[in-house]
Structure 1
């Protein structure tokens, strides 16, 4: 057989087959490369898209948290009875700006560039960058304020604040607005007559940098909408023309740039190898083995391509998992180790439900539903990382199918721990006080609803309304930082005083509520209140200060006052009102008769406010004589209230009420001014004496008040005597000494009133710059009946003389008392025996008569 004839035939037969095979392998190679490159670009695109979404999410979250904090803050000011009383009508600038209730500290401490009080007609009060200005709020903001007022006043809930974005002095700002309403039990106010409080928070670069740092946004800033780049994640600020942006990390682009050099080199090598393979295949068609070698090389190229794809997957932020049909883990990407701290070898072969847990749906059921629904789905799961910390992830999955059979599942797990924590924080803030962390009014309402749902079958509980005493002077004198430190310490002491099943809540300001579960007997409640008040009276150390407060408590018990939460709170509030009126630092149980007392007291308080506005007060004057009763040396000014329906009221009927409110300040200023103006008509040597209330020391600048009256009335300071009780020194020893020294520098005289009734009067005489003392009238009244009281009076007189002080005996009502005081060489006397308090016309007549007698006698 001629075998040479077979060779050409064999070549011609194999050559087209080899070329087609080579061409097919070439196409498969190109397709594999294209798939790998496409997958790489797809992953990079997803990473960049995720970066855009996350950046926009955290920008929005940072802005929302800033707004939420400002809303909570403005509510503490707007939903405040004291603010309503000083701002609802004509704004009390002294209270708002001079006393720093809504003054420059809102700019220096709280970073608010603007504070405005407006109504439907005008701007009533304006503070811009800490300085009070006389200007319209609309001059600073490009927004319709009238529409804002209409919207707020039309709300069903007037305590709910709202926000607007605007340009404040040309720069974007968040305006938070709220209706100013009282938080007491007074009748509902007319919404259209209320005033609106505006807080302007300008989004300055410094603030944005501070806000962004909490969310990993190191370059949070503002840009004009016209300069936004395409695809840039931004949060627009409504019609201001500005948006919040932050620089993108672009992980997808970084991934592409990092993989481009090695990927390009690999592709170049493969291209050279492929060219060589094609050349070799075309040169010899008969070497079929060479074709198989080329196929093997193509297979290796595809495996390399898959390896590169796996490397890209390992670089992604999510970790990738695969399980078999028995739900045993067969693959975990390298990112799994970075996120969880575990190695993949620790979990390979174990069931996925041992790693991940879902509290709403078993993972096996969820995976089974995926086969039926044929759609991608996500499930929120939790797990413990290598350190034992609970973490959360969003799991996605797809079934792996071989023809019609499901052989397993693969998917990704995205870490959402920070997102879950942020959501939990929002939920927490909605039910807790932002400063102290205690439950707020919302959580208190839920707790009472749950505890009282079964009504008479519920476990008994006692509700204690706690209000701090002497808190406002600390806030006013040392600032909000000191006030916040006191509130934090009080919150901790309240927690320490209660049990786990009890609830401690903060309603706002310095008002707290304690709910004692399973307690109804008075003996138990009394013991608790005693411990609580004693705990709160312990000093609070702040910087170099030792601060002292107290507490008043109102008590309501569910099995006596009922099972309606609102009614229980109302009863405790009324009892608290009664406790404060009885002298503070005590507690009272609610009783039905308190309703009438509270209504009467509130009516009297309203009448007193009108009296201050309408000038319904008059002064009576009681002269002070030399001990022989012949010469008037001084006159004490005593205020009376000419009530429109009840007639002339003595100080005992209204001064305690004025001291418990802010009314004592304007009332005391009026008394001082009226006394000085009246005394200008008296002989030049005659002194006028005015009583100073301890509450006046706490709530106003007494030195400035006296100085201003002396300047405006041109009354000589040497003719003014101020009477001060020992209670002033008891509240604040160092502060009282500083004030008294400042008063002495004005040139006035200081007299200690009611001497002998305190605990350490002798120490006070040595420390404080008094010019005289007044012996309390109780010693004078019993002087003739008790040798001890007579000895006390003699000792006080001798003490006063030894210290160079003028001694005055008050309450002299008999000739015998006057004679004894003359024998003991007391300097001055005062009392009904010599003269009752009389109005200024009668006192003018008394002066004239006294002067006539003096001229006749001479």
Structure 2
């Protein structure tokens, strides 16, 4: 372990004249300084005398805080060596001394140094000679085992000379002793100072090496790859993970500009990095980029970057790249399915609404539009008799035929079930529309082959036009719906234009709205309950309350019949309160670990004080707040983002649970999960229905939603489970909870009580 560029002894050469400074530890040189410059060579390279005895003597002398001196050959020439062990400023043990590093200071007996020494003693010609060059006319001092001795000139031989020289010699020896004593003390002080520095540097190097080992381990095991560039954004480092992710060898990209590897559609990469060089040195920025891997596949990554600073200047850039291809693909599939029907691939209600909003944006200045609302005839018997697989095959073939019939710029959407809508741009002539409708019905009447069996269906069409019905999207669909109803009443397999006389249908709806108000007063509503099962053991963990209307003339009506009417008026608020109160009152007698789940209408959420209503009902019914779950759709958040967030936070303070219903079908469901305090999410049944077809994209989206919920700590429920195949797929994907007709139909309160009693003793079985 070296001292990595730390020249801590440079002054020892310039100021003190030491030709060599060495640190010996564990029988090897850990630091070397030759003539003031760091050296990679060991002490034995320069010192010809065996060092081990000297090192052992120095360690022995360290106990009494002393140092030792020797004459040695240094680089082939005699030199004075001072040695001292590096020891802490405290009492030390023998074992510590025996392992202590030893500092070696070398002072060569050069001609200039000897001349200076001789002049100070009044001697001339002081120099060193080999032992085999003895001259008895000269006096000498042996220099240890170096094979050299120190000598000087004696101009007058004889006793008189000795009398004259002897005092000078003694003086020279005294001076030499004083010099050696100064050398020893200076060496000891220097050894202590350098020793402390050495210890600190060794500790720093150990920490640095450990940090580098951790960095390498993290860099090679992490999913991200690490990169560095110089100031000109040329790559100077790539971690090995880069090769694993991209397939490219690391060396193949070093020296290339980063923007040759990565591209960004929204922000140019080079200016984005340059901006970091003028920003806060601690600023860390993120950017989504694309690149092609070695196989030519487009991939996505999110890079994090910051500038590398030295002496107040940015000298390069460093960061990580996280491969997010799977995340982007899953998000794109979810976004696609939020605007498209998963079974047919056609546009869904969301995309239809966007399309109409854009097409009708300019009102009367907008191009003429014709809406065809199409409902299949004879579809229900096929679906009921041959099963959902046959029904799905029919719907997919119908979608293909509709798509092939329309033009670019037209829109084909599936509204749900066997109902479709076509938006025809620029087609305003009645005769042209008649020909199109006739061709469409004729095309759909052609047999559809399923498992070698021909299936026959038809179609009824309701027509509405902006020329006659105006430029309001809701009004156009409403008029087309009334016209469709008339087409079916007229014998099916035909089409009808909306006319004013059809407003009788509107009168019917108004009558239904009046009946709705009466129903609330006459207590004609009732709740049915559909259980929700924990998938691990098929135990009932929650029950969803579903409102029904027992109409005196029409019989039992589902919510699709009257909830839209209730939402168009203030009836929805009173109806919503009744549902919530009745659900809490009934659930009070259920097992304590079973939740009750109640749907909140967006209109109810916006037009009433939901928090006050929930608080009052919980107090009146003495129902535990933690057993109440409120299901909320994305439409609640679309209307009032800030207000909705405040209401939800207040509901959470009451202790109730919040569930995002129909997850994945809206505009920004992923963003809502990050913003709003949901406890759970429900995967929309349209995603689940696609599992019957073993469709890779549907399965991948369901898995992505489950993984997302798991990562965010949310309970994930799959609704609309109607087959064993769907149940098994969800079980394999580790979905938390399931709900659907395959497990249990909605039950009245008595039927649910019996089921709860049954399942309290044993695991539920699918009905």
Q: Is this a same-fold pair by TM over 0.5? A: no
Higher helix content, 1 or 2: 1
What is the TM-score normalised by the length of structure 1? 0.37
What is the TM-score normalised by the length of structure 2? 0.41
Q: Which of the two has higher C-alpha Rg?
A: 2
